[in-house]
Amino acid sequence: MTERLGVLKTYKLFIAGKFPRTESGRSMKVADGVGGGEAHVCRASRKDLRAAVEAAHAAQPGWASAGSFLRSQILYRVAEMLEARSGEFERSLPPGASASSLSPAEEVALSIDRLVAFAGWCDKYQQVLGTHNPVAGPYYNFTVPEATGVVGVIAPPEPALLGLVSLLAPVLCSGNAAVVLASRTNPVPGAIFGEVCTSGDVPPGVVNILTGDPVELFEHFATHREINALHAAGLTDEQSTTLRSGAAENLKRVCIRETREWSGDVCESPEWIEPFVEFKTIWHPSSA
């Protein structure tokens, strides 16, 4: 009897709440700790990025207007779903691969806790970042934060899951929609995270996850006019320059994290939310 060859799993993209294959038909072979062997992930193209941005742009106004409490509930639900599949995520993270020397179990636990932390910030960051401004005359003057729009999230090579969650959660917390490029080194956790978003009640299009070659997609992230900001980490100097140079033409915000300590409390600070909100100042007559 001949030895049977296993069928390699192909992890799809996550766009508009669905799991399409890349329009280019290309894939990359990667190690698959979940399946105990190898797998394929889609190699996203510029057209896939465009489709993801369109989905995010359509979904963002509804997500921003849903209310802080509802966003908090949904982020907490995503944390619950990640907890329920923690074993699968642990198997997707090679031992010793994390940049912070975290074990797979530690990285998954921190990712869950980070989602819970930003779920808690959903209805509190406004008080921290907003202000009541002293002005002369019979007026009240308030400055309040509002969502920027569509944010491109570029996950670091490692830690593949914790890095992705740490960059994505503050973006979602403040009412933005996201187009995520998963880790090139280990894209499997990012691909599985799309399934968690679906079961976690995230509205279609609010989170879109691509896998592929950063060299091919970085320029398009930087120059796409409907991506309003970028949140990235783990980049080389050349990659950082590409993002900043491209964004200079359309004036989007570029926030590149230099942190190496992903387990630290600094990653849960409202300062990680601030780059992805715009500030509106409101004048209101005083009744006095």
121-143 pLDDT, tens per residue?
999 988 888 777 777 777 777 78
Can you give the pLDDT at residue 248?
Answer: 83
Percent of the chain at pLDDT > 90 equals 70
Domains and CATH numbers, the chain: 10-285 (3.40.605.10)
Are the C-beta atoms of residues 147 and 60 closer than 8 Å to each other?
yes
Reading the block at residue 282, the tokens are: 């409101």
Reading the block at residue 255, the tokens are: 């926030």
Q: Taking phi first (over 0 means left), then psi (-120 to 50 degrees means alpha), and beta for anything else, what does residue 192 get?
A: alpha
Can you give the pLDDT at residue 98?
Answer: 54
Lowest-confidence segment of 58-67, 187-196, 245-254 by average pLDDT? 245-254
pLDDT digit string, tens, across residues 218-246: 999 999 999 999 999 999 999 999 999 98
pTM of the full structure: 0.92
Can you give the pLDDT at residue 287?
Answer: 65
- Model confidence at 269: pLDDT above 80: yes
Can you give the pLDDT at residue 281?
Answer: 81
Can you give the pLDDT at residue 97?
Answer: 55
Can you give the pLDDT at residue 259?
Answer: 76
Can you give the pLDDT at residue 285?
Answer: 81
Can you give the pLDDT at residue 96?
Answer: 61
pLDDT digit string, tens, across residues 195-211: 999 999 999 999 999 99
As a dihedral over the C-alpha atoms of residue 111, residue 116, residue 121, residue 122, rounded to 10 degrees, the angle is: 110
Lowest-confidence segment of 42-56, 93-107, 151-165 by average pLDDT? 93-107
Mean residue pLDDT across the chain? 91
Can you give the pLDDT at residue 20?
Answer: 96
Lowest-confidence segment of 99-108, 143-152, 171-180 by average pLDDT? 99-108
Please indicate whether residue 29 or residue 58 has the higher confidence score (pLDDT): 58
Can you give the pLDDT at residue 1?
Answer: 64
Can you give the pLDDT at residue 227?
Answer: 97
